[in-house]
């Protein structure tokens, strides 16, 4: 339990640190062309990743840590 709570706390600290760092980064919108390239996989509304995650969640004991919704199975449990 201690490990889990420690990890949760570390994750929250990292999120907060990232938010603070955000104030330091100053990349202009006009300089973000590379970041919008499709191969950066930034636009994952319904990407293949969701089906891959569905497979992993049906075969492995840990899920979560990635955005997305779901439930049920539809897999060979």
Shortest Cβ 13–other proteins spacing (Å): 10
Displacement of CA 5 from its chain's centroid (Å): 20
Give the number of other Cβ atoms within 10 Å of residue 64's Cβ: 7
Q: Does 44 bind other proteins (CB under 8 A)?
A: no
- By CB under 8 A, the count of residues binding other proteins is 57
CB 68 within 8 A of CB 52: no
CB-facing half-sphere around the CA of 34: CA atoms within 13 A: 3
Q: Does 73 bind other proteins (CB under 8 A)?
A: yes
Q: Does 52 bind other proteins (CB under 8 A)?
A: yes
Q: In angstroms, rounded to a whole number, what is the distance separating the alpha carbons of residues 76 and 35?
A: 38
Residues of the shown chain interacting with other proteins in the complex, contacts defined by CB under 8 A: 1, 3-4, 7-8, 10-12, 14-15, 18-19, 21-23, 25-29, 31-35, 37-43, 45-46, 48, 51-52, 55-56, 59-67, 69-77
């Amino acid at each position: 339990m201690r490990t889990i709570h420690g990890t949760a706390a570390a994750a929250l600290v990292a999120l907060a640190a990232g938010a603070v760092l955000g104030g330091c980064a100053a990349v202009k919108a006009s300089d973000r062309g590379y970041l919008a390239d499709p191969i950066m996989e930034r636009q994952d509304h319904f990407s293949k990743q969701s089906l891959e995650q569905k497979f992993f969640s049906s075969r492995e004991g840990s899920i979560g840590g990635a955005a997305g919704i779901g439930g049920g199975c539809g897999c060979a449990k």
